[in-house]
Amino acid sequence: MPAPTTLTLADAIGLAIQHYQAGRLDEAESTFRQVLQVDADNPNALHLLGILCVQKGDPAAAVELIGKAVKRYPHIPDFHGNLGAAWHALGRFDAAIECYEKALAIKPGFPEAAYNLGNALKDMGRFTEAVGLYRRALALKSDYADAHNNLGMVLQTLGNPVEAIAHFQQALALKPNYAEACNNLGNAQRDQGRLDEAVVSYRQALHIRPNFSEAHGNLLFTLNAISDVSPASVFQEHRNFEQNFAAPFAVTWQPHANPRDPARRLKIGYVSADFREHPVAKFFEPVLAGRDSGAFEVTCYYNRPFGDATTARLQGLSDQWRDISGLSDDQAASLIRADGIDILVDLAGHTAANRILVFARKPAPLQVAWLGYPNTSGLSAMDYRICDEFTDPVGMTEKYHSETLVRLPQGFLCFVPPPESPEVRVAPGLEKNWVTFGSFNNFAKVTPQVLALWARLLQTVPDSRLLLKHGGLDDAGMAQRLHEQFASHGIAAGRVELLGKTPSYREHLECYGRVDIALDPFPYNGTTTTCEALWMGVPVVTLAGSVHAARVGVSLLRHAGLEGWIANSEEEYLQIAAALAGSPDSLNQLRLGLRSQLLTSPLTDAMNFVASMEAIYREIWQMWCSGG
């Protein structure tokens, strides 16, 4: 290549751009740097080299380079926009937002800057503001596929899955091989209970991009809720994930230098994106708050760039807090290894924003799956999975796990009653002269089979009603679709009431005062919803299945001393629910005494639960120390 000294600077920059467009990034970088040796303040070279540095994973260098270009020519909107992208890549959302806003101030008709500003707001959890920016980008550029996709993502987060689906479909119309949009379409379909369609979307995303681990994880999560997929098939899909995405890292595993002292203070690490107002946090907090700090040191690895009051509280309870949201899997694994973690616990599995591939790198000598996901990880790198004798009876589910199952004696989780709980109300059926069944579960669990059984129950119990509550029901399209499904089973719209989000958690709990009997979905049972219903005095009817996801209700009711509400068939499910509905006075007495029963049950015994968890940690650690 001729040295830039034999070319004009403009020609040299043009040559570098040719290299860049052809994917010859090293040659492009070398040419840009030679230009800067001749003209250290050349704004075009600084700017373009900065863009290249972002793409090569060095955003800090990009900030320095593009920052110089901005100082030289502060009136060029592209410079501000790409400086924002560099700050964004560093996780400095505040600085990124400032840059994007400057770009838009200079050039209001700048769709890319509006889109990127929307991305920064989304990543900060400011979803409503992000919607406005994505709409602005689309008003400027209607065929902007990425803006359609990301607008769909925030609309879905805000509980508007029907409109979200329309934007994902538009993104795919513009860009048919858009793997991210296929994956996101699957998520929105899943949240509407359209599981078969979601599976098709995830498989299409994987067809387009076979190495799309997130899409495969979403497929796994969805399969847990589909009744006609065998446990063996679901397990095989988990092992396929291992083979495709995790197994290649086994050759990189390094020996662990953790001192093999069976009695020393242990370093426990917890990994989650849900250290915030989220069901996982509710069940995790008692373990963190009640730990024996003399025997266990806890580090929380948080995988979101934003938090809330729950995040702050958990951070205050932990010994160390690490934000890994901006780290690659390799970087996060290196950090965990450097922290000397003895037992690393995954609280996410294949749920949203997981870091399952950090575990694939085996950064800790012992790795444990617990709480956030109702199935195996599928990973050979995961040593144990915490469950109990009712979720996973001995001999029933071991063959569907890559991990060794460890059963806690008093249940695999502990429910801590919310301090803001309202009082239990008298059964509403006594006042209304009809019984109201209810479910506040995510609609990914309300499959056509579940809906059909609930419709049969309404037909079995004359004048009964059904109250369904979920954030997505604020979406008029989703509500209409649900009413149409019930209508196909002969249930009039007036017998099914739909509720969306409530302003506060206390108001959410108060809604249980409108429900006489709660209905657990299957084969993916509720967890938080079941505990909340029981706490608010509402009996819960569950259907026992043959895998963990379908037996969580069994565990919760058995540990609360309420095994009479566990059905072993759909017919028995109907019988139990109808029998409860047929005795309103008895139902009310049950209701008024249910909270006291919970308070004396293992389900709410935080002290013994934490002790049993820590005993498990010590036992598996001692086995590792002895070479087991």
377 and 440 co-located in one domain: no
More confident residue, 336 or 3: 336
> 461-499, pLDDT tens digit by residue?
999 999 999 988 988 889 999 999 999 999 999 999 999
Residue at 149 is within a domain: no
591 and 617 co-located in one domain: no
Q: How many CA atoms lie within 13 A of 413 on its CB side?
A: 28
Overall average pLDDT of the 563-584 stretch: 97
Residue at 372 is within a domain: yes
Whole-number Å distance between alpha carbons of 42 and 399: 64
380 and 508 co-located in one domain: no
Q: What is the pLDDT of residue 6?
A: 63
Residue at 501 is within a domain: yes
State percent of the chain over pLDDT 70.
Answer: 99
Overall average pLDDT of the 387-408 stretch: 98
469 and 548 co-located in one domain: yes
592 and 616 co-located in one domain: no
Q: What is the pLDDT of residue 43?
A: 84
Q: Could you give the C-alpha distances from 256 to 253, 330, 362, 452, 616, in angstroms and in order?
A: 9, 16, 9, 53, 21
**What one-letter code names the amino acid at 526?**
G
457 and 506 co-located in one domain: yes
Domain assignment of residue 382, given as a range: 271-414+608-625
Who's near 86: CB < 8 A, 6+ residues apart?
50, 53, 54, 59, 62, 63, 66
301 and 392 co-located in one domain: yes
Residue 5 has pLDDT above 70, yes or no: no
599 and 616 co-located in one domain: no
The domain tally of the chain equals 2
Whole-number Å distance between alpha carbons of 124 and 568: 45
For residue 336, how far is the Cα from the chain centroid? 21
Q: CATH number of the domain that 354 lies in?
A: 3.40.50.11380
Q: What is the pLDDT of residue 28?
A: 77
Q: Give the per-residue SS3 of 577-596.
A: HHHHHCCHHHHHHHHHHHHH
382 and 470 co-located in one domain: no
546 and 573 co-located in one domain: yes
Across all residues in the chain, what is the average pLDDT? 95
Please, what sign has the CA dihedral across residues 167, 126, 418, 408? positive
514 and 404 co-located in one domain: no
470 and 400 co-located in one domain: no
> 80-93, pLDDT tens digit by residue?
999 999 999 999 99
Residue 16 has pLDDT above 90, yes or no: no
Q: Could you give the C-alpha distances from 508 to 422, 482, 499, 539, in angstroms and in order?
A: 10, 21, 10, 17
Whole-number Å distance between alpha carbons of 81 and 103: 6
> 528-560, pLDDT tens digit by residue?
999 999 999 999 999 999 999 999 999 999 999
Residue at 358 is within a domain: yes
> 206-245, pLDDT tens digit by residue?
999 999 999 999 999 999 999 999 999 999 999 999 999 9
Q: What is the pLDDT of residue 12?
A: 82
Whole-number Å distance between alpha carbons of 173 and 168: 9
517-519/436-439 β-pairing: parallel
Residue 277 has pLDDT above 60, yes or no: yes
Q: CATH number of the domain that 541 lies in?
A: 3.40.50.2000
Name the E strands within 149-294.
266-272
Residue 41 has pLDDT above 90, yes or no: no
Residue at 375 is within a domain: yes
Residue at 406 is within a domain: yes
Residue at 448 is within a domain: yes
Residue at 84 is within a domain: no
Of the candidates 220, 537, 460, 193, which has an alpha carbon nearest to the alpha carbon of residue 351? 220
Whole-number Å distance between alpha carbons of 76 and 563: 69
